[in-house]
């Protein structure tokens, strides 16, 4: 694949794909379809993914050190045995599932799962949690759509976003303690303004080995590569208006896989953008950081 030759991974289309994960031990791609209520896995060369139906919307997944996945669903945190298909509740949710569900999540450099929630009514009642030793501890409150988690290559800075607020934040991170401090705005984007072209809002993200943060811009139809200073240094246009999250994969971690959404998009847009809902793939120069495994 030439640079910026953007293709769909097979013919599968998600309603709202999210949480792409290149499994470092299995060398294959996983993702979720949130409203489609499925965990998906693409094996090398397969057109259609394997699918594990879920009883509630899965917001994100993480690879477990002992094998299988953790699935953060509206109704709690679940273990999924990808060999047998068995599912077991690990923890109930730390919120009211009638109003919130889990959204973006990622494993920190010490193997703890961090996962945030999203408010169905898009009120600022969502929280970013750390899950460790069997319990959730709130780390950031007052969010609307917790998203965009990514650690710097040295593990000393953590980033997250609030999609509705159009902001990405950064904080110092103490790996041993699993604690963030000095949160500040990393990058911010214009809200929708009548008469002005809309650039989208920051959704899921991935970090490359050079310490640049890649943000999917929901309704902006692009990926942004953002330097550690917060400056946007590159923009890659995508053939889908609603990318939701990138992740680095392939043997050299230089293939960027990007989940996208087609749910609730206008019919004329879907006609113009037949790849909406696909997992997109493109080659990039700087490799990404491998996904961490969780010990939970």
Q: Which DSSP letter does residue 38 get? A: E
Closest contact distance (angstroms) between CB of 148 and ligand LVWBJ73I is 9
Q: Which of 54, 82, 163, 281 binds ligand LVWBJ73I (CB under 6 A)?
A: 163
Task: Provide the 10 A C-beta neighbour count for residue 257.
Answer: 24
CA distance 107 to 204: 14
Distance of CA 56 to the CA centre of its chain: 18
Residue 214: C-alpha distances to residues 202, 217, 292 (Å): 10, 10, 17
Please tell me the total number of residues recorded for the chain in this structure: 296
For ligand LVWBJ73I, the closer of residues 118 and 223 by Cβ is 118
Q: 203, 208, 252, 285: which one is catalytic?
A: 203
CB 167 within 8 A of CB 188: yes
Q: Which is nearer to ligand LVWBJ73I, 49 or 148 (CB)?
A: 148
18 is in an annotated binding site: yes
Catalytic annotation present for 203: yes
Q: Among candidates 163, 286, 164, 191, which has minimal Cα distance to 233?
A: 286
Q: Is 75 annotated as a binding residue?
A: no
Site string for ligand LVWBJ73I, 2-41 (x = CB under 6 A): --------------x-x---------------x-------
Residue 179 to residue 182: CA distance in whole angstroms: 10
102 binds ligand LVWBJ73I (CB under 6 A): no
Which of 78, 189, 218, 248 forms a contact with ligand LVWBJ73I (CB under 6 A)?
A: 218
Instruction: Note the helical H segments in the chain.
Output: 267-272
Task: Tell me the binding residues for substrate.
Answer: 101, 103
Q: Which residues are catalytic?
A: 203
**Interacting residues with ligand LVWBJ73I (CB under 6 A):** 16, 18, 34, 103, 118, 145, 147, 163-164, 201, 203, 218, 244
């Amino acid at each position: 694949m030439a640079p910026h030759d953007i293709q769909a991974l097979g013919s599968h289309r998600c309603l709202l794909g999210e949480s792409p994960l290149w499994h470092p031990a299995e060398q294959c791609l996983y993702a979720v379809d949130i409203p489609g209520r499925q965990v998906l896995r693409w094996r090398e060369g397969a057109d259609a993914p394997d699918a594990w139906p879920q009883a509630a919307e899965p917001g994100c997944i993480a690879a477990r050190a002992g094998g299988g996945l953790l699935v953060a669903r509206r109704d709690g945190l679940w273990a999924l045995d990808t060999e047998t298909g068995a599912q077991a509740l690990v923890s109930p949710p730390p919120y009211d599932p009638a109003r919130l569900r889990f959204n973006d999540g990622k494993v920190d450099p010490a193997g703890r799962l961090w996962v945030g929630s999203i408010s169905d009514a898009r009120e600022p009642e969502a929280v970013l949690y750390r899950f460790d030793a069997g319990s959730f501890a709130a780390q950031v409150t007052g969010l609307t759509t917790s998203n965009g988690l990514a650690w710097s290559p040295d593990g000393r800075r953590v980033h997250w976003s609030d999609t509705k607020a159009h902001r990405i934040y950064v904080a110092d991170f103490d790996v041993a303690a699993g604690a963030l401090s000095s949160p500040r705005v990393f990058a911010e984007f214009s809200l929708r303004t009548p008469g002005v072209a809309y650039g989208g809002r920051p959704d899921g993200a991935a970090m490359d080995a050079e310490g640049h943060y890649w943000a999917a811009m929901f309704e902006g139809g692009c990926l942004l590569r953002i330097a550690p200073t917060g400056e946007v240094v590159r923009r890659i246009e995508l053939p889908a208006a609603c990318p939701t999250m990138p992740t680095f994969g392939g043997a050299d971690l230089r293939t960027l896989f990007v989940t996208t959404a087609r749910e609730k998009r206008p019919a004329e847009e879907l006609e113009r953008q037949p790849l909406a809902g696909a997992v997109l793939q493109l080659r990039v120069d700087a490799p990404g950081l491998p996904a961490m495994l969780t010990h939970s």
